[in-house]
Amino acid sequence: MPSSFRNSPALPWVAALAVMSLWASSFVVIRGVGVHFSPGSMALLRLVVATVALSIGALLLRPRWPRTAAAWGWTLLWGVAWFGVYTVVLNLAEQHVDAGTAAMLVNVAPLVVALCSGLLLGEGLPVRLFVGMGVSMAGIVVITVATTTGHLTVLGVVLSLVAALLYAGSVLLQKWQLTGGDSYAVTLVGIAGATVACLPFAGELATELSAAPAASVWAVVYLGLFPTALAFNFWGYALKHIPAGVLSSSSLVVPALVVLLSWLTLGEVPPLLAVLGGVLCLTGAAFSIVPHVRAALRTPKQPAAAEETPSEATV
């Protein structure tokens, strides 16, 4: 990759857009394969695929591995929480609450990240960010009202909120301790640790693999390669250069993208109210992040090595 492009101030935002698109596609895929795989077995297969793919890539890319025992510990803790526990808890939640309501509850996480990163990481509490997030949250509520099936239990609500806290905590931990390292190595170590943590589901996976149609198996392989291995590398790169609260707020566009992708790929024509909600999501996110994109494009980007040096002590 040419140095001028690699150091472009727009590149972290391109990575963020790719992450949101891939994460949105995962909701559509999970909707289709959930009938063939239980929450734990789906998570394990997805993680195994991601671990194998990233391990092969590591032989070619030769990433910088964590340098201290503490760095390995933080990375494994982050990986197990983010890739393992969060994924299984969210899959379980969607057995007790419909996908729209789960998405609404989980999207409390960007608000938690913005508050905590402002108070604890010194990113500030810009009014514009919270106004934009409020508009996006209103859009998510509208989408939920338009698409909900009414399937709701207390357990589903609790699990969805636990998933939101795991999401927020993992983002904050990554920004606090892990953004100084090689994002490829951090992602690989984290996913490998989560894979080991999910091995108790191996028996379920073996049983379900023998019965699942090939299309569903390949769909989970897609989840491992793209929304997991590729997207989380892009996420780690973007998080190095974008404040955690701002980057997390961009994930509020995911419900709108899910509505669009479901329409295009599954033929699920969204209700007019859901389209309105999607417009609100996109409007709120744009209100929050566009000023940051403009500021980044106006600011000359420093060489990557110079940016990473101050934080390498944490990895």
Contact 229/187 with Cβ under 8 angstroms?
yes
Name the average pLDDT for the chain. 82
From the list 130, 102, 137, the residue with the least C-alpha distance to 114 is 130
**Model confidence, pTM:** 0.79
- Is residue 109 within 8 A of residue 165, CB to CB? The reply is yes
Question: What phi and psi values does residue 282 have, to the nearest 5 degrees?
Answer: -65, -40
The length of the chain, given as a count of residues = 315
Q: How confident is the model at residue 309 (pLDDT cuts 50, 70, 90)?
A: very low
Evaluate whether 134 touches 284 at the Cβ level (below 8 Å).
Answer: yes
Checking if the pLDDT of 153 tops 80, the result is no
Q: 109 and 116 in contact (C-beta within 8 Å)?
A: no
pLDDT mean over 153-180: 86
Taking 90 as the threshold, does the pLDDT of residue 107 lie above it? no
* Radius of gyration for the alpha carbons in the chain, expressed in angstroms and rounded: 19
Using the predicted structure, report yes or no on whether residue 269 has a pLDDT greater than 70. Answer: no
pLDDT at 315 over 70: no
